[in-house]
């Protein structure tokens, strides 16, 4: 008795299965995309082939194609995120080929660009800036944009590397924003940039004093294709950070002809004064002068004026 019940129940399940399979097959064959594919390949597709490939065909109709259902790459609902299927004939069955969708292609391009910009303690809005978006509402910014375009046009990895720029002016006028814009334009030309908020970077380096990671960090900063040091002068520079960190970085970049950009609230002269902060007399002044020589060698100064954009975004 037990055994008959078992067999009956298996048969019953089997029937249910068959029913579901038929429903699925109907659904698949009514799908307009499938119909189009079958029409296109009517000379090669047999009934057997369809039966053998039902799982693939079903997978096809459940996946999003041409991004119709897609809001963004991040929210892609497909089995393989960012890939969409096409139906193909492979031997005696129908198969799926997955290719990157348009949104994934775009996302990868953007990611590749973003990877070219390394940054340390720089706000994300700055990393979105582009030269085209820079408001030209002020003569100083107009001049800056000309110099930026000059630099970007001339930039060539092996030769003709132009001087970097030293943007100086009051707080909030958009100096850091200009750095972000340059970095993004360079990324679109496949040039990598490192954008560093200098006060925080130097603070962190003091923390890793005598640590091997310190040398590694300095080596990376020395050698990056384009270096941008944001807000020089806003830090409380010690003799150690000035002479053992900043000095060698700038020296290396000068000798190797590697473009270096700065922003500062100080002009060249004011910065020289800040860097000497004559605690110990003449010797400090000389060292400050030596750093300034390197900065001047590496950059063209551009004063940025205008309103404080931090509180007035109109």
Q: Which stretches of the chain bind Mg ion, using CB under 5 A?
A: 176
We find the least distance from the C-beta atom of residue 265 to Mg ion, in angstroms, to be 8
The reply on whether position 125 binds ligand ADP by CB under 6 A is: yes
E-strand stretches of the chain? 83-90, 93-100, 117-120, 164-168, 193-197, 226-230, 260-264, 299-303
| Contact residue for ligand ADP among 73, 107, 166, 177 (CB under 6 A) | 177
Q: CB neighbours (10 Å) of residue 198?
A: 24
CB 226 within 8 Å of CB 191: yes
Interacting partner of 12 out of ligand ADP, Mg ion, none (Cβ under 5 to 8 A depending on kind):
none
Give the separation between CA 164 and CA 10, rounded to whole angstroms.
78
**Closer to ligand ADP at the Cβ: 186 or 288?**
186
Give the helix/strand (H/E) hosting 172. Answer: none
**Closer to ligand ADP at the Cβ: 123 or 248?**
123
The b-or-e profile of 227-236 (16+ CB within 10 A means b, else e) is bbbbbbbbbe
**DSSP assignment, residue 163?**
P
**Closer to Mg ion at the Cβ: 180 or 259?**
180
The reply on whether position 165 binds ligand ADP by CB under 6 A is: no
We find the least distance from the C-beta atom of residue 214 to ligand ADP, in angstroms, to be 27
The reply on whether position 142 binds ligand ADP by CB under 6 A is: no
**Closer to ligand ADP at the Cβ: 49 or 127?**
127
Give the separation between CA 293 and CA 296, rounded to whole angstroms.
5
The reply on whether position 256 binds ligand ADP by CB under 6 A is: no
Interacting partner of 41 out of Mg ion, ligand ADP, none (Cβ under 5 to 8 A depending on kind):
none
**Strand-pair category, 193-197 with 117-120:** parallel
Interacting partner of 302 out of Mg ion, ligand ADP, none (Cβ under 5 to 8 A depending on kind):
none
CB 169 within 8 Å of CB 305: yes
CA-based radius of gyration for the chain? 31
**DSSP assignment, residue 215?**
H
The reply on whether position 134 binds ligand ADP by CB under 6 A is: yes
**Closer to Mg ion at the Cβ: 176 or 241?**
176
**Strand-pair category, 226-230 with 193-197:** parallel
Interacting partner of 309 out of Mg ion, ligand ADP, none (Cβ under 5 to 8 A depending on kind):
ligand ADP
Question: Would you tell me which residues interact with ligand ADP (CB under 6 A)?
Answer: 125, 133-135, 171-177, 263, 309-310
């Amino acid at each position: 008795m037990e055994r008959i019940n078992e067999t009956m129940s298996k048969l019953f399940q089997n029937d249910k299965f068959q029913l579901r399979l038929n429903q699925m097959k109907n659904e698949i064959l009514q799908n307009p995309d499938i119909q189009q594919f079958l029409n296109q390949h009517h000379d090669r597709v047999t009934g057997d082939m369809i039966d053998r490939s039902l799982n693939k065909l079903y997978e096809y109709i459940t996946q999003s194609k041409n991004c119709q259902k897609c809001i963004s790459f991040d929210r892609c609902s497909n089995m393989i995120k960012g890939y969409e299927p096409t139906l193909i004939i492979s031997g005696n069955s129908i198969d799926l080929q997955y290719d990157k969708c348009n949104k994934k292609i775009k996302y990868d391009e953007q990611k590749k660009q973003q990877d070219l910009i390394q940054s340390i303690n720089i706000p994300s809005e700055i990393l979105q800036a582009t030269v085209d978006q820079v408001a030209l509402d002020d003569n100083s910014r107009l001049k800056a944009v000309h110099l930026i375009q000059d630099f970007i046009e001339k930039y060539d990895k092996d030769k003709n590397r132009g001087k970097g720029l030293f943007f100086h002016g009051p707080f909030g006028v958009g100096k850091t924003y200009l750095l972000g814009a340059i970095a993004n334009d360079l990324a679109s030309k496949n040039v990598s940039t490192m954008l560093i908020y200098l006060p925080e970077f130097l603070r962190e380096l003091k923390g890793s004093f005598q640590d091997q990671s310190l040398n590694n960090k300095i080596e990376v900063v020395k050698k990056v294709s384009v270096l941008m040091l944001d807000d020089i002068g806003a830090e409380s520079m010690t003799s150690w950070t000035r002479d053992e960190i900043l000095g060698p970085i700038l020296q290396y970049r000068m000798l190797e002809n590697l473009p270096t950009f700065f922003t500062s609230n100080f002009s060249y002269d004011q910065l020289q004064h800040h860097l000497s902060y004559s605690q110990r007399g003449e010797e400090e002044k000389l060292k400050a002068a030596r750093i300034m020589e390197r900065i001047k060698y590496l950059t063209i100064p551009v004063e940025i004026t205008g309103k404080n954009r931090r509180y007035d975004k109109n």
